[in-house]
Amino acid sequence: MFQKYANPTRFLKLANAILPWVAGLTVILIATGLYFAFAASPPDYQQGQTVRIMYVHVPSAWMAMFAYAFIVLASAVGLIWKHPVAHVSALAAAPIGACFTLICLTTGSLWGKPMWGTWWVWDARLTSVLVLFFLYLGFIALANAFDDAARGEKASAILALIGGVNLPIIKFSVDWWNTLHQPASVTKLGMPAVHSSMLIPLLLMAVGFTTLFFTLVIIRSRAELASRRINALRAARIHAEAGGG
């Protein structure tokens, strides 16, 4: 199944067929999700209106992890089956995942100021997400650091796999460090069972963010494939002119 879409033309055909559907779904889901989040859901009895930040914050945190898992998987497929489109989609997903991570950190910080009284705490979760953000930056930097694009995508694919192995270890050690250094400075706000009036917008937004992710991955992969084709055509023309001249 993977092999079939190693051919960029076939992949583009599939991508073009899917794109309007996921894009449309994204618009509908996020629009209804935002309506529920801002208008049709109650403010929290403790957090007041700031609870509405959660409808963006939590889905983007999920997407931050989902996008990294996607990159690891795509990199593995790319390396194992020498699948060019898998590499392209991993590279396309990286800046999107980094953006979700940044959104997660920023909204969390905006929520933390009124709730915890500080923009940033070295809480285990916050720290892990920050490290995840660094891993994204490393991946993007390595992918773009070579003059030969093929080298960049292979090297960054290996890095993504290493990161994928290392991420649970980092998560574990950060949890461990956190319990060692600052016991219970931040109470975990014992999440009570979420009421459906809040769960519905949250789930709508989460699914909407997922389709948004795939929409953007398809658009970016398409752009990347197109730019490679332009480069190849340009190189071929220069070659032909030089040879024929």
* Options 47, 146, 149, 207; binder of another protein; rule CB under 8 A: 146
Helix (H) or strand (E) holding 226: helix 196-244
> What is the rounded distance in angstroms from the CA atom of residue 40 to the CA atom of residue 32?
10
Contact call for residue 1 and another protein (CB under 8 A): no
Question: Tokens in use for 16?
Answer: 């073009």
Contact call for residue 154 and another protein (CB under 8 A): yes
Contact call for residue 119 and another protein (CB under 8 A): no
Smaller CB distance to another protein: residue 108 or 163?
163
Contact call for residue 141 and another protein (CB under 8 A): yes
**What amino acid occupies position 63?**
M
Distance from the Cα of residue 43 to its chain's centroid: 28
Contact call for residue 151 and another protein (CB under 8 A): yes
Contact call for residue 149 and another protein (CB under 8 A): no
> What is the rounded distance in angstroms from the CA atom of residue 131 to the CA atom of residue 122?
12
* Options 1, 39, 165, 184; binder of another protein; rule CB under 8 A: 165
What lies within 8 Å, CB to CB, of 120 at 6+ separation is 109, 112, 126
- Point out which span in 10-18, 40-48, 175-183, 204-212 binds another protein (CB under 8 A): 175-183
What lies within 8 Å, CB to CB, of 146 at 6+ separation is 152, 155
Contact call for residue 155 and another protein (CB under 8 A): yes
Contact call for residue 145 and another protein (CB under 8 A): yes
Instruction: Please name which of 133, 127, 121 lies closest in space to residue 65, comparing C-alpha atoms.
Output: 133
Contact call for residue 138 and another protein (CB under 8 A): yes
Smaller CB distance to another protein: residue 165 or 191?
165
Contact call for residue 169 and another protein (CB under 8 A): yes
Contact characters 74-113, another protein, x per CB under 8 A: ----------------------------------------
Smaller CB distance to another protein: residue 155 or 203?
155
Please provide the DSSP assignment of 36-88 as one string. Answer: IIIIISPPBTTTBGGGGGHHHHHHHHHHHHHHHHHHHHHHHHHHHTT-HHHHH
Q: How far is CA 54 from CA 113, 128, 157, 225, in A?
A: 14, 18, 32, 36
- Using CB under 8 A as the criterion, which residues of the chain lie in contact with another protein when the complex forms? 131, 134-135, 137-138, 141-142, 145-147, 151-152, 154-155, 158-159, 161-163, 165-166, 169-170, 172-174, 176-177, 180
